[in-house]
Amino acid sequence: MAVTVTIWHNPRCTKSRETLALLEARGIAPEVRLYLKDQPSAEEITEALQLLGQPAIALVRTKEAAFRDLGLTKDAPDATLIAAMAEHPVLIERPVVFANGKAALGRPPEAVLEIL
The Cα–Cα gap between 101 and 15 comes to 22
Q: Name the catalytic one among 3, 7, 13, 62.
A: 13
Which residues make Cβ contacts (< 8 Å) with residue 9, sequence separation at least 6? 16, 20, 32, 33, 34, 35, 94, 95
Asked if 58 and 81 count as a contact pair (C-beta separation under 8 A), the reply is no
Q: Active-site residue 13, yes or no?
A: yes
Active-site positions read 13
